[in-house]
């Protein structure tokens, strides 16, 4: 009879740097089953329920970032008290000073962990000295909970929100584990009012939650992880070893990988929240179906794009100060949006390209009258998709040299004559990519029909479908854990 190594088992519940607790892991699925069972037993005891979720959320973050979960607690305590002082302060420079202090504190925290080495590298290059990076650990999801906290203090400053009366409620808002480490970025005014409500999970919410969890798990663990491990990572590791055709499909593969990875996480986060009786905002809406870059940003990472619009673009003046200033504000917003994603010039280039494209798109719509029909929509989707794919090269490449090599291989060494051999050699990867893109481009009506089909299922059938997806994940997944891409941001 096999024996159980207790120490090895307990070790799985401690912080393991290379094994963060992610939704698609067996450990999380096991823990979540027990966690939600106890949650339903406690749901009528409001304060106990909130404390229970907060403690689990802190543990969830500890499993992702180790001792840095204390940073989340510190941020919560400081922002909660700062917001209360700001709300009671008289309007004028005193309140504005408190807001500036909040911005400096939160953005300073983000800047230290994320941009210290980047700025130091620039300094060393300018001075001609050797660059030796500081040993600074980037806590998982720091960009997300920082922006979430800022939405709270800014909304209070603007008079659009009253501060919560208890720190427990604020801790619940900031640390709620489904969206803590990779979004969606939850607005205080959207989520906090739900905290005081009794826990009610309707059959429709439960079915929608199960559908989103299943679809998100499938996107992440079956599509994204497979094409990443078996194709995309190899291409971007050494693009010059592959033909231009292989590099092009590597870019197509990454476009699908990052979508399935990030939207898969968002689907699971929204679905898990629904099982607790809370509704999070939509974060993706079939972005590659967009016929313009403006439409793309209405469909891609919606919680971030709307956050940047409401708290950065509008604060810069939005479109209220003339046409040229509007273009400039839009460009600055996207430039900083690129920098938010990572401390590297390639992210700045990625943001700048999107900023320029948004300006061009806006100018075309103002000065040219392009007829709206099926042909122009299809052409718009093709052009937008390929522009987005081109920008993804800079986003994915480890450095500018890799990005240049990918572009060079596609442009100068395309070799289309190997197409049939390429299909034969990568048939499994291409089949998974075809399946992923097909699912992405299916009409919304079919997706809703699938969701209604899950709704009409008896509970035992829903559990069976979930079990089947888990079995597929176990059979297909790679041996190593594949963290979500946006954990690094």
pLDDT tens-digit map of 459-483:
777 777 777 777 766 666 655 556 6
Query: What is the predicted pLDDT for the residue at 232?
Result: 94
Query: What is the predicted pLDDT for the residue at 386?
Result: 96
Q: Is the pLDDT of residue 168 over 90?
A: yes
Cα-based distances in Å from 84 to 98, 121, 157, 165, 299: 10, 39, 10, 9, 35
Residue 20 near residue 69 (C-beta atoms within 8 A): no
Q: Is the pLDDT of residue 181 over 80?
A: no
Query: What is the predicted pLDDT for the residue at 254?
Result: 95
Least confident piece of the model among 45-49, 134-138, 289-293:
134-138
Question: Which of residues 285 and 366 earns the better pLDDT score?
Answer: 285
Mean pLDDT of the chain: 86
Query: What is the predicted pLDDT for the residue at 34?
Result: 85
* pLDDT (average), residues 264-276: 91
Question: Which of residues 488 and 392 earns the better pLDDT score?
Answer: 392
| Nearest CA-CA partner of 436 in 253, 242, 310, 184 | 253
- Identify the band that residue 145 occupies on the pLDDT scale cut at 50, 70 and 90: confident
3-state secondary structure of 83: helix
Percent of the chain at pLDDT exceeding 70? 92
Domain boundaries in the chain? 45-195, 203-488
For 466-478, letters b (16+ CB in 10 Å) and e give eeebbeebeeebe
Q: Is the pLDDT of residue 194 over 60?
A: yes
Ramachandran assignment for 442, one of left (phi > 0), alpha (psi -120 to 50 degrees), beta (any other)? beta
- Identify the band that residue 161 occupies on the pLDDT scale cut at 50, 70 and 90: confident
Question: Which of residues 228 and 201 earns the better pLDDT score?
Answer: 228
Cα-based distances in Å from 338 to 171, 308, 309, 483: 29, 11, 14, 21
Question: Which of residues 155 and 136 earns the better pLDDT score?
Answer: 155
CB atoms within 10 A of CB 420: 8
How many residues does the structure list for the chain? 489
Question: Which of residues 251 and 453 earns the better pLDDT score?
Answer: 251
**206-265 confidence digits (pLDDT tens):** 888 888 888 888 898 889 989 998 999 999 999 999 999 999 999 999 999 999 999 998
Query: What is the predicted pLDDT for the residue at 1?
Result: 46
Catalytic residues, by residue number, are: 341
Ramachandran assignment for 477, one of left (phi > 0), alpha (psi -120 to 50 degrees), beta (any other)? beta
Least confident piece of the model among 111-120, 278-287, 395-404:
111-120
Alpha-carbon span 405 to 409, nearest angstrom? 6
Query: What is the predicted pLDDT for the residue at 106?
Result: 87
- Identify the band that residue 273 occupies on the pLDDT scale cut at 50, 70 and 90: very high
Structure tokens at 366: 């103002």
Query: What is the predicted pLDDT for the residue at 475?
Result: 64
Q: Is the pLDDT of residue 332 over 70?
A: yes
Q: Is the pLDDT of residue 66 over 70?
A: yes
């Amino acid at each position: 009879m096999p024996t159980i190594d207790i120490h090895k088992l307990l070790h799985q519940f401690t912080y393991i740097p290379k094994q963060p607790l992610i939704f698609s892991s067996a450990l999380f699925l096991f823990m979540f089953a027990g966690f939600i069972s106890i949650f339903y037993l406690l749901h009528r005891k409001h304060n106990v329920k909130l404390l229970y979720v907060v403690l689990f959320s802190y543990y969830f973050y500890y499993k992702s970032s180790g001792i840095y979960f204390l940073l989340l607690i510190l941020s919560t305590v400081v922002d909660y008290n700062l917001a209360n002082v700001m709300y009671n302060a008289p309007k004028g420079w005193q309140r504005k000073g408190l807001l500036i202090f909040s911005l400096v504190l939160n953005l300073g925290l983000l800047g230290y962990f994320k941009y210290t080495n980047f700025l130091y590298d620039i300094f060393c290059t300018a001075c001609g000295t050797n660059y030796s990076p500081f040993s600074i650990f980037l806590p998982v999801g720091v960009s997300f909970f920082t922006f979430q906290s800022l939405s709270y203090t800014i909304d209070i400053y603007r008079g659009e929100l009253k501060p919560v009366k208890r720190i427990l409620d604020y801790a619940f808002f900031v640390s709620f584990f489904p969206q803590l480490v990779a979004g969606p970025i939850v607005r205080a005014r959207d989520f906090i009012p739900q905290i005081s409500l009794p826990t009610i999970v309707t059959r429709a919410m439960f079915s929608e939650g199960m559908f989103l969890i299943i679809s998100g798990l499938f996107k992440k663990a079956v599509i994204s992880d497979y094409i990443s491990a078996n194709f995309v990572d190899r291409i971007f590791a050494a693009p010059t070893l592959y033909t231009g055709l292989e590099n092009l499909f590597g870019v197509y593969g990454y476009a699908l990988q990052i979508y399935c990875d990030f939207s898969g996480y968002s689907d699971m986060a929204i679905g898990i929240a629904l099982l607790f009786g809370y509704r999070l905002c939509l974060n993706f809406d079939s972005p590659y179906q967009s016929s313009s870059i403006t439409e793309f940003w209405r469909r891609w990472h919606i919680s971030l794009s709307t956050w940047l619009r409401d708290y950065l673009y509008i604060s810069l003046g939005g479109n209220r100060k003339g046409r040229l200033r509007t273009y400039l504000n839009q460009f600055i917003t996207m430039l900083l949006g690129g920098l938010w994603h990572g401390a590297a010039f390639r992210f700045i280039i990625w943001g700048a390209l999107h900023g320029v494209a948004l300006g061009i798109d806006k100018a075309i719509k103002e000065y040219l009258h392009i007829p709206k029909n099926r042909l122009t929509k299809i052409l718009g989707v093709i052009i937008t998709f390929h522009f987005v794919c081109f920008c993804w090269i800079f986003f994915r490449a480890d450095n500018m040299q890799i990005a240049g090599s990918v572009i060079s291989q596609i442009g100068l060494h395309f070799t289309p004559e190997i197409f049939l051999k390429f299909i034969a050699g990568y048939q499994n990867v291409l089949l998974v990519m075809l399946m992923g893109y097909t699912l992405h481009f299916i009409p919304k009506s079919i997706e809703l029909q699938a969701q209604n089909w899950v709704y009409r299922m008896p509970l035992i059938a829903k559990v069976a479908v979930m079990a089947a997806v888990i079995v597929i994940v176990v059979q297909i997944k790679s041996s190593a854990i594949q963290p979500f891409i946006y954990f690094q941001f």
